[in-house]
Amino acid sequence: MGLSHLASLGFKGGLKNCEKHLGLDREELEGVDGFFAVLLWYDFYNKGNRKALETLIAYNMTDVVNLEYLMVIAFNLKAATTPFTDALRIAPPSPPEIPFKADTETVNRLRRKAGFGRHW
């Protein structure tokens, strides 16, 4: 699923912006984006930092989990414009437990190294 359904409802920006607008919290991954994902990969690939790899996997899995939630929200908002709102409404999914966690120390170290503040 892409973000085109949300865009057609007036949501602007990428995945992280849509998540923020709809109240999704990325917790330790707040402010981590695609550019930062590359930094995580290089930290793992070049230095063998397994915590960077686990953080990257947590980031990617959070994207997938949140896309499902956003898909349901978009569907329900679109369904609300029809006479079939009640019949079509889908309950938002409960997020599954993501078995990988972001390593705060790795995230903060890479932020400092890249010259970014806490939230860039």
- Within-domain flag for 49: yes
- Within-domain flag for 55: yes
The structure's pTM equals: 0.85
Please give the tally of structural domains in the chain: 1
Where residue 23 falls among pLDDT bands split at 50, 70, 90? Answer: confident
Torsion of CA 17, 21, 23, 28, to 10 degrees: 20
Q: What are 84's two structure tokens?
A: 């079939």
pLDDT value for 117: 57
- Within-domain flag for 120: no
- Within-domain flag for 103: yes
Report the candidate in 29, 22, 13 with the shortest Cα–Cα distance to residue 100. 29
Does the pLDDT at position 118 exceed 80? Answer: no
Where residue 81 falls among pLDDT bands split at 50, 70, 90? Answer: very high
Sequence-ordered list of residues with C-beta below 8 angstroms from that of 92, at least 6 positions apart, any chain: 69, 72, 73
Cβ–Cβ under 8 Å, residues 54 and 29: no
Grouping H, G, I as helix, E, B as strand and the rest as coil, residue 71 is helix
Does the pLDDT at position 105 exceed 90? Answer: yes
> Average model confidence (pLDDT) for the chain?
91
- Within-domain flag for 33: yes
Does the pLDDT at position 120 exceed 50? Answer: no
- Within-domain flag for 68: yes
As a whole number, mean pLDDT of residues 58-70 equals: 95
- Within-domain flag for 25: yes
pLDDT value for 46: 97
As a whole number, mean pLDDT of residues 68-85 equals: 94
- Within-domain flag for 80: yes
Which residue segment(s) compose the domain that 22 sits in?
Answer: 4-114
pLDDT value for 57: 98
